[in-house]
Amino acid sequence: MAIDHLDGRLIVLLAREPRIGVLEASRRLGVARGTVQARLDRLRSQGVIRGFGPEVDPAALGYPVTAFATLEIKQGQGADVRAHLTTVPEVLELHTTTGHGDMLCRLVARSNADLQRVIDRVVGFEGIVRASTAIVMENPVPLRIIPLVEQAAGDTEGC
Amino acid sequence: MAIDHLDGRLIVLLAREPRIGVLEASRRLGVARGTVQARLDRLRSQGVIRGFGPEVDPAALGYPVTAFATLEIKQGQGADVRAHLTTVPEVLELHTTTGHGDMLCRLVARSNADLQRVIDRVVGFEGIVRASTAIVMENPVPLRIIPLVEQAAGDTEGC
DNA sequence: AGTAGCACTATGCATATTGCCCAGTGATGT
DNA sequence: ACATCACTGGGCAATATGCATAGTGCTACT
Protein backbone atom coordinates (compact mmCIF):
# COMPACT_ATOMS: atom_id res chain seq x y z
CA MET A 1 0.00 0.00 0.00
CA ALA A 2 2.63 2.51 0.97
CA ILE A 3 6.09 2.79 -0.45
CA ASP A 4 9.32 1.37 0.87
CA HIS A 5 12.61 3.04 1.47
CA LEU A 6 14.02 2.43 -2.00
CA ASP A 7 10.88 3.83 -3.59
CA GLY A 8 11.27 6.90 -1.44
CA ARG A 9 14.88 7.40 -2.39
CA LEU A 10 14.00 6.97 -6.04
CA ILE A 11 11.22 9.54 -5.94
CA VAL A 12 13.33 12.05 -4.05
CA LEU A 13 16.19 11.53 -6.49
CA LEU A 14 13.92 12.08 -9.46
CA ALA A 15 12.40 15.13 -7.82
CA ARG A 16 15.80 16.67 -7.26
CA GLU A 17 17.31 15.79 -10.64
CA PRO A 18 14.54 15.08 -13.07
CA ARG A 19 16.74 14.92 -16.14
CA ILE A 20 18.59 11.79 -15.08
CA GLY A 21 17.46 8.58 -16.73
CA VAL A 22 16.82 5.13 -15.41
CA LEU A 23 20.43 4.11 -15.86
CA GLU A 24 21.86 7.06 -14.00
CA ALA A 25 19.29 6.63 -11.24
CA SER A 26 20.30 3.01 -10.78
CA ARG A 27 23.92 4.07 -10.43
CA ARG A 28 23.07 6.71 -7.84
CA LEU A 29 20.92 4.36 -5.84
CA GLY A 30 23.38 1.50 -6.07
CA VAL A 31 20.92 -1.00 -7.49
CA ALA A 32 20.51 -2.73 -10.82
CA ARG A 33 18.89 -0.96 -13.72
CA GLY A 34 16.11 -3.51 -13.94
CA THR A 35 15.20 -2.82 -10.33
CA VAL A 36 14.76 0.88 -10.92
CA GLN A 37 12.80 0.09 -14.07
CA ALA A 38 10.49 -2.25 -12.17
CA ARG A 39 10.04 0.17 -9.28
CA LEU A 40 9.17 3.00 -11.60
CA ASP A 41 6.67 0.88 -13.49
CA ARG A 42 5.05 -0.15 -10.24
CA LEU A 43 4.90 3.38 -8.85
CA ARG A 44 3.31 4.60 -12.05
CA SER A 45 0.77 1.81 -12.24
CA GLN A 46 -0.10 2.29 -8.58
CA GLY A 47 -0.69 5.94 -9.26
CA VAL A 48 1.91 7.14 -6.78
CA ILE A 49 3.67 8.87 -9.66
CA ARG A 50 1.11 10.45 -11.94
CA GLY A 51 3.56 11.59 -14.56
CA PHE A 52 6.53 13.74 -15.37
CA GLY A 53 4.83 16.75 -16.89
CA PRO A 54 6.67 20.04 -17.09
CA GLU A 55 6.18 22.34 -14.11
CA VAL A 56 5.14 25.66 -15.58
CA ASP A 57 5.50 28.88 -13.65
CA PRO A 58 2.44 31.08 -14.22
CA ALA A 59 4.44 34.13 -13.24
CA ALA A 60 6.90 33.54 -16.07
CA LEU A 61 3.95 33.17 -18.39
CA GLY A 62 2.80 36.66 -17.53
CA TYR A 63 0.46 35.83 -14.66
CA PRO A 64 2.34 36.94 -11.57
CA VAL A 65 -0.70 37.44 -9.35
CA THR A 66 -2.14 34.45 -7.48
CA ALA A 67 -5.29 34.49 -5.38
CA PHE A 68 -7.55 32.09 -3.58
CA ALA A 69 -11.28 32.61 -3.83
CA THR A 70 -13.81 31.08 -1.48
CA LEU A 71 -17.16 30.67 -3.17
CA GLU A 72 -20.57 30.17 -1.69
CA ILE A 73 -22.87 28.26 -3.99
CA LYS A 74 -26.62 28.29 -4.30
CA GLN A 75 -28.12 24.93 -3.38
CA GLY A 76 -28.11 22.45 -6.24
CA GLN A 77 -25.97 24.59 -8.53
CA GLY A 78 -22.72 22.84 -7.76
CA ALA A 79 -22.40 20.97 -11.03
CA ASP A 80 -23.12 24.04 -13.14
CA VAL A 81 -20.63 26.13 -11.24
CA ARG A 82 -17.97 23.45 -11.66
CA ALA A 83 -18.59 23.35 -15.39
CA HIS A 84 -18.42 27.13 -15.57
CA LEU A 85 -15.16 27.40 -13.65
CA THR A 86 -13.58 24.71 -15.78
CA THR A 87 -13.92 26.99 -18.78
CA VAL A 88 -11.93 29.79 -17.15
CA PRO A 89 -8.22 29.32 -17.93
CA GLU A 90 -7.18 31.43 -14.96
CA VAL A 91 -8.79 28.94 -12.59
CA LEU A 92 -5.87 26.63 -11.93
CA GLU A 93 -7.50 24.48 -9.32
CA LEU A 94 -10.91 23.95 -7.77
CA HIS A 95 -11.96 22.13 -4.63
CA THR A 96 -15.25 21.61 -2.94
CA THR A 97 -14.84 21.96 0.79
CA THR A 98 -16.52 21.83 4.13
CA GLY A 99 -16.56 24.95 6.21
CA HIS A 100 -17.65 28.51 5.59
CA GLY A 101 -17.53 28.44 1.83
CA ASP A 102 -18.53 25.67 -0.51
CA MET A 103 -15.69 25.87 -2.96
CA LEU A 104 -12.13 27.07 -2.96
CA CYS A 105 -10.33 27.94 -6.14
CA ARG A 106 -6.89 29.10 -7.08
CA LEU A 107 -6.72 31.94 -9.57
CA VAL A 108 -3.96 33.71 -11.41
CA ALA A 109 -4.03 37.05 -13.19
CA ARG A 110 -1.77 39.37 -15.13
CA SER A 111 -2.02 42.12 -12.51
CA ASN A 112 -4.13 43.20 -9.60
CA ALA A 113 -6.30 45.07 -12.05
CA ASP A 114 -6.57 42.00 -14.22
CA LEU A 115 -7.57 39.99 -11.18
CA GLN A 116 -10.73 42.03 -11.07
CA ARG A 117 -11.56 40.86 -14.58
CA VAL A 118 -10.88 37.25 -13.64
CA ILE A 119 -13.00 37.45 -10.52
CA ASP A 120 -15.80 39.10 -12.45
CA ARG A 121 -15.70 36.26 -14.89
CA VAL A 122 -15.60 33.67 -12.12
CA VAL A 123 -18.48 35.07 -10.11
CA GLY A 124 -20.44 36.31 -13.11
CA PHE A 125 -22.54 33.21 -13.03
CA GLU A 126 -25.87 32.51 -11.50
CA GLY A 127 -25.40 30.04 -8.71
CA ILE A 128 -22.55 31.81 -7.00
CA VAL A 129 -23.94 33.65 -4.03
CA ARG A 130 -20.85 35.17 -2.56
CA ALA A 131 -17.12 35.17 -3.13
CA SER A 132 -14.29 36.27 -0.90
CA THR A 133 -10.81 36.55 -2.29
CA ALA A 134 -7.41 36.44 -0.66
CA ILE A 135 -4.50 37.67 -2.73
CA VAL A 136 -1.24 35.82 -2.28
CA MET A 137 1.64 38.04 -1.28
CA GLU A 138 4.38 35.57 -0.64
CA ASN A 139 4.82 31.85 -1.09
CA PRO A 140 7.19 30.71 1.65
CA VAL A 141 6.55 27.05 0.90
CA PRO A 142 5.94 26.29 -2.77
CA LEU A 143 4.07 23.09 -3.50
CA ARG A 144 6.36 20.34 -2.29
CA ILE A 145 6.18 16.62 -1.85
CA ILE A 146 9.65 15.50 -0.85
CA PRO A 147 9.21 15.76 2.93
CA LEU A 148 6.02 13.76 2.72
CA VAL A 149 7.64 11.11 0.55
CA GLU A 150 10.49 10.85 3.02
CA GLN A 151 8.06 10.42 5.88
CA ALA A 152 6.00 7.85 4.00
CA ALA A 153 9.12 5.92 3.06
CA GLY A 154 10.63 6.16 6.50
CA ASP A 155 7.51 4.95 8.28
CA THR A 156 7.73 1.54 6.69
CA GLU A 157 11.19 0.62 7.80
CA GLY A 158 14.17 2.12 9.49
CA CYS A 159 16.49 2.35 6.54
CA MET B 1 8.24 38.23 -22.27
CA ALA B 2 5.43 35.85 -23.00
CA ILE B 3 5.60 32.71 -25.08
CA ASP B 4 4.75 32.26 -28.70
CA HIS B 5 2.56 29.72 -30.36
CA LEU B 6 5.24 27.11 -30.90
CA ASP B 7 6.28 27.36 -27.26
CA GLY B 8 2.69 26.80 -26.28
CA ARG B 9 2.31 23.76 -28.47
CA LEU B 10 5.54 22.36 -27.12
CA ILE B 11 4.52 22.79 -23.49
CA VAL B 12 1.10 21.32 -24.08
CA LEU B 13 2.62 18.39 -25.93
CA LEU B 14 5.05 17.72 -23.12
CA ALA B 15 2.30 18.05 -20.55
CA ARG B 16 0.18 15.50 -22.35
CA GLU B 17 2.93 13.02 -23.15
CA PRO B 18 5.85 13.68 -20.86
CA ARG B 19 7.82 10.58 -21.80
CA ILE B 20 8.51 11.66 -25.35
CA GLY B 21 11.97 13.03 -25.98
CA VAL B 22 13.22 16.00 -27.90
CA LEU B 23 13.39 14.04 -31.12
CA GLU B 24 9.86 12.74 -30.94
CA ALA B 25 8.58 16.18 -29.96
CA SER B 26 10.22 17.71 -32.99
CA ARG B 27 8.50 15.14 -35.19
CA ARG B 28 5.09 15.84 -33.65
CA LEU B 29 5.48 19.58 -33.97
CA GLY B 30 6.85 19.39 -37.48
CA VAL B 31 10.00 21.35 -36.73
CA ALA B 32 13.69 20.53 -36.57
CA ARG B 33 15.17 18.89 -33.55
CA GLY B 34 17.51 21.80 -32.93
CA THR B 35 14.55 24.13 -32.76
CA VAL B 36 12.85 22.11 -30.05
CA GLN B 37 16.16 21.85 -28.24
CA ALA B 38 16.63 25.63 -28.39
CA ARG B 39 13.06 26.37 -27.34
CA LEU B 40 13.29 24.06 -24.39
CA ASP B 41 16.58 25.56 -23.28
CA ARG B 42 15.10 29.02 -23.51
CA LEU B 43 11.92 28.10 -21.66
CA ARG B 44 13.95 26.54 -18.88
CA SER B 45 16.37 29.44 -18.59
CA GLN B 46 13.50 31.92 -18.59
CA GLY B 47 11.91 29.98 -15.78
CA VAL B 48 8.73 29.25 -17.67
CA ILE B 49 9.44 25.56 -17.22
CA ARG B 50 10.78 24.95 -13.74
CA GLY B 51 11.51 21.29 -14.23
CA PHE B 52 10.17 17.87 -14.96
CA GLY B 53 9.84 16.45 -11.51
CA PRO B 54 7.56 13.50 -10.86
CA GLU B 55 4.01 14.39 -9.90
CA VAL B 56 3.33 12.43 -6.77
CA ASP B 57 -0.18 11.71 -5.60
CA PRO B 58 -0.38 12.11 -1.82
CA ALA B 59 -3.47 9.89 -1.75
CA ALA B 60 -1.50 7.00 -3.24
CA LEU B 61 1.15 7.59 -0.61
CA GLY B 62 -1.40 7.02 2.10
CA TYR B 63 -2.53 10.61 2.63
CA PRO B 64 -5.99 10.76 1.09
CA VAL B 65 -7.27 13.70 3.12
CA THR B 66 -6.54 17.23 1.94
CA ALA B 67 -7.43 20.39 3.80
CA PHE B 68 -6.81 24.10 3.63
CA ALA B 69 -6.09 25.98 6.82
CA THR B 70 -6.36 29.71 7.20
CA LEU B 71 -4.07 30.94 9.92
CA GLU B 72 -4.10 34.18 11.84
CA ILE B 73 -0.68 35.20 13.02
CA LYS B 74 0.40 37.29 15.96
CA GLN B 75 2.11 40.49 14.85
CA GLY B 76 5.79 40.04 14.07
CA GLN B 77 5.74 36.26 14.36
CA GLY B 78 5.49 35.62 10.64
CA ALA B 79 9.04 34.42 10.09
CA ASP B 80 8.90 32.03 13.04
CA VAL B 81 5.61 30.58 11.90
CA ARG B 82 6.96 30.06 8.41
CA ALA B 83 9.99 28.26 9.77
CA HIS B 84 7.78 26.10 11.94
CA LEU B 85 5.41 25.13 9.17
CA THR B 86 8.31 24.27 6.90
CA THR B 87 9.26 21.51 9.30
CA VAL B 88 5.86 19.81 9.05
CA PRO B 89 5.91 17.34 6.16
CA GLU B 90 2.13 17.38 5.85
CA VAL B 91 2.23 21.08 4.99
CA LEU B 92 2.47 20.88 1.22
CA GLU B 93 2.17 24.54 0.49
CA LEU B 94 2.11 27.83 2.35
CA HIS B 95 1.09 31.29 1.25
CA THR B 96 0.89 34.60 3.00
CA THR B 97 -2.25 36.42 1.95
CA THR B 98 -4.33 39.50 2.29
CA GLY B 99 -7.82 39.16 3.67
CA HIS B 100 -9.27 37.60 6.79
CA GLY B 101 -6.37 35.31 7.61
CA ASP B 102 -2.70 35.98 7.31
CA MET B 103 -1.62 32.64 5.89
CA LEU B 104 -3.17 29.87 3.91
CA CYS B 105 -1.71 26.39 3.90
CA ARG B 106 -2.50 23.14 2.21
CA LEU B 107 -2.38 20.08 4.42
CA VAL B 108 -2.70 16.37 3.88
CA ALA B 109 -3.38 13.62 6.38
CA ARG B 110 -3.85 9.87 6.57
CA SER B 111 -7.45 10.20 7.72
CA ASN B 112 -9.83 12.68 9.23
CA ALA B 113 -8.63 11.57 12.64
CA ASP B 114 -5.05 12.01 11.54
CA LEU B 115 -5.90 15.48 10.31
CA GLN B 116 -6.51 16.42 13.91
CA ARG B 117 -2.95 15.41 14.73
CA VAL B 118 -1.61 17.43 11.83
CA ILE B 119 -3.59 20.50 12.74
CA ASP B 120 -2.51 20.22 16.35
CA ARG B 121 1.06 20.15 15.19
CA VAL B 122 0.51 23.08 12.86
CA VAL B 123 -1.21 25.34 15.35
CA GLY B 124 0.73 24.09 18.36
CA PHE B 125 3.08 27.00 18.06
CA GLU B 126 3.11 30.32 19.77
CA GLY B 127 2.40 32.99 17.22
CA ILE B 128 -0.63 31.37 15.67
CA VAL B 129 -3.69 33.05 17.09
CA ARG B 130 -6.44 31.25 15.30
CA ALA B 131 -6.87 28.64 12.60
CA SER B 132 -9.86 27.69 10.54
CA THR B 133 -9.78 24.58 8.44
CA ALA B 134 -11.71 23.53 5.37
CA ILE B 135 -11.57 19.87 4.43
CA VAL B 136 -11.52 19.11 0.73
CA MET B 137 -14.28 16.78 -0.34
CA GLU B 138 -13.90 16.75 -4.08
CA ASN B 139 -11.38 18.14 -6.52
CA PRO B 140 -13.30 18.93 -9.70
CA VAL B 141 -10.34 20.75 -11.23
CA PRO B 142 -6.96 19.31 -10.27
CA LEU B 143 -4.02 21.66 -10.60
CA ARG B 144 -3.78 22.40 -14.29
CA ILE B 145 -1.78 24.70 -16.51
CA ILE B 146 -2.65 23.75 -20.06
CA PRO B 147 -5.58 26.16 -20.54
CA LEU B 148 -3.47 29.02 -19.28
CA VAL B 149 -0.58 28.08 -21.53
CA GLU B 150 -2.91 27.96 -24.48
CA GLN B 151 -4.26 31.36 -23.63
CA ALA B 152 -0.82 32.84 -23.13
CA ALA B 153 0.37 31.35 -26.41
CA GLY B 154 -2.74 32.36 -28.31
CA ASP B 155 -2.63 35.95 -27.14
CA THR B 156 0.59 36.62 -28.96
CA GLU B 157 -0.48 35.62 -32.41
CA GLY B 158 -3.47 34.20 -34.15
CA CYS B 159 -2.04 30.83 -35.05
C1' DA C 1 21.27 49.10 -50.39
C1' DG C 2 24.15 46.55 -47.82
C1' DT C 3 25.14 43.96 -43.83
C1' DA C 4 25.03 41.76 -39.40
C1' DG C 5 22.32 39.08 -36.31
C1' DC C 6 19.00 35.64 -35.45
C1' DA C 7 16.05 31.62 -35.69
C1' DC C 8 15.27 27.67 -38.12
C1' DT C 9 16.37 23.63 -41.23
C1' DA C 10 18.90 19.62 -42.37
C1' DT C 11 22.52 16.63 -41.72
C1' DG C 12 26.38 13.82 -39.69
C1' DC C 13 28.74 11.40 -36.03
C1' DA C 14 30.42 9.45 -31.59
C1' DT C 15 28.52 8.30 -27.34
C1' DA C 16 24.96 7.10 -24.08
C1' DT C 17 20.60 5.22 -23.09
C1' DT C 18 16.68 2.40 -23.78
C1' DG C 19 13.88 -1.77 -24.15
C1' DC C 20 14.24 -6.47 -24.05
C1' DC C 21 16.21 -10.77 -23.31
C1' DC C 22 18.36 -14.27 -20.24
C1' DA C 23 20.46 -17.13 -16.20
C1' DG C 24 21.69 -17.06 -11.50
C1' DT C 25 20.90 -15.94 -6.42
C1' DG C 26 18.84 -15.13 -2.04
C1' DA C 27 14.73 -14.58 0.83
C1' DT C 28 9.99 -15.88 1.75
C1' DG C 29 6.11 -18.64 2.24
C1' DT C 30 3.76 -23.22 1.46
C1' DA D 1 11.85 -29.53 -0.13
C1' DC D 2 9.88 -26.50 -3.45
C1' DA D 3 7.65 -22.66 -5.84
C1' DT D 4 7.53 -17.72 -6.01
C1' DC D 5 9.34 -13.32 -6.17
C1' DA D 6 12.53 -9.47 -6.32
C1' DC D 7 16.97 -8.38 -7.46
C1' DT D 8 21.51 -8.87 -9.93
C1' DG D 9 24.56 -8.64 -13.83
C1' DG D 10 25.28 -9.30 -18.42
C1' DG D 11 24.50 -8.94 -23.59
C1' DC D 12 22.23 -6.99 -27.68
C1' DA D 13 20.03 -4.15 -31.33
C1' DA D 14 17.60 0.05 -31.85
C1' DT D 15 17.18 4.59 -30.58
C1' DA D 16 18.17 9.15 -28.61
C1' DT D 17 21.39 12.53 -27.18
C1' DG D 18 24.94 16.20 -27.34
C1' DC D 19 27.56 18.62 -30.38
C1' DA D 20 28.99 20.50 -34.64
C1' DT D 21 28.34 22.12 -39.37
C1' DA D 22 26.42 24.71 -43.49
C1' DG D 23 22.63 26.80 -45.78
C1' DT D 24 18.28 29.82 -45.81
C1' DG D 25 15.05 33.41 -44.96
C1' DC D 26 13.82 37.28 -42.08
C1' DT D 27 14.53 41.57 -39.41
C1' DA D 28 16.91 45.47 -37.79
C1' DC D 29 20.45 48.66 -38.13
C1' DT D 30 23.65 51.73 -40.53
Chunk chain A into consecutive blocks of 10 residues (it has 159) and report each block's average pLDDT, rounded to whole numbers.
89 94 95 95 93 94 96 92 96 94 95 97 93 96 96 64
The CA-based angle B15-B55-B84, given to 5 degrees, is 135
- Whether residues B85 and B41 fall in one domain: no
Q: What is the mean pLDDT of residues B106-125?
A: 96
> Of A40, A66, A80, A148, which to mutate for an interface test with B (greatest number of B Cβ within 10 Å)?
A148
Q: Looking at strand C, which nucleotides approach a protein CB closer than 7 A?
A: 7-11, 16-22
Q: Does the CB of A37 sit below 7 A from strand C? A: yes
Q: What is the DSSP letter of B18?
A: T
The per-residue pLDDT for B156 is 45
With contact defined as beta carbons under 8 Å apart, do A151 and A5 qualify? Answer: no
Q: Is residue A127 part of a domain?
A: yes
Query: Does residue B157 register a pLDDT over 90?
Result: no
The per-residue pLDDT for A158 is 39
Q: What is the CATH number for A104? A: 3.30.70.920
Cβ within 8 Å, pair B95-A139: yes
The dihedral built from the CA positions of residue B3, B7, B11 and B13, taken in this order, carries a sign that is positive
- Whether residues B69 and B50 fall in one domain: no
The per-residue pLDDT for B159 is 35
The per-residue pLDDT for B100 is 81
The per-residue pLDDT for B158 is 38
B43 to chain A, closest Cα gap in Å:
9
- Whether residues A121 and A77 fall in one domain: yes
| pTM beyond 0.75, yes or no | yes
Q: What is the mean pLDDT of residues B77-102?
A: 94
Q: Which residues in chain B have their CB less than 8 angstroms from residue A85's CB? A: 140-141
- Tell me how many domains chain B contains: 2
Nearest by CB to residue A93, choosing from B86, B95, B141, is B141
Q: Which domain holds residue A41?
A: 5-54
Query: Does residue B20 register a pLDDT over 50?
Result: yes
Task: Identify each DSSP E strand in B33-145 by its residue range.
Answer: 49-51, 55-56, 65-73, 91-97, 103-109, 128-141
Q: Is residue A152 part of a domain?
A: no
Q: Is residue B143 part of a domain?
A: no
Cβ within 8 Å, pair A138-B95: yes
- B45-71 confidence digits (pLDDT tens): 999 999 999 999 999 999 999 999 999
- Whether residues B50 and B62 fall in one domain: no
With contact defined as beta carbons under 8 Å apart, do B73 and B127 qualify? Answer: yes
With CA atoms as reference, the chain B residue closest to A47 would be B60
Q: Does the CB of A96 sit below 7 A from strand D? A: no
Q: Which long-range contacts (CB under 8 A, 24 or more apart) does B60-64 make?
A: B60/A46, B60/A47, B60/A48, B61/A2, B61/A3, B61/A48, B61/A148, B61/A149, B61/A152, B62/A1, B62/A2, B62/A152, B62/B110, B63/A148, B63/A152, B63/B90, B63/B108, B63/B109, B63/B110, B64/B110, B64/B111
The per-residue pLDDT for A159 is 35
- Whether residues A130 and A66 fall in one domain: yes
- Whether residues A28 and A85 fall in one domain: no
A116 to chain B, closest Cα gap in Å:
15
The per-residue pLDDT for A101 is 81
- Whether residues A128 and A64 fall in one domain: yes
Q: Does the CB of B5 sit below 7 A from strand C? A: no
- Whether residues A108 and A64 fall in one domain: yes
Q: Is residue B96 part of a domain?
A: yes
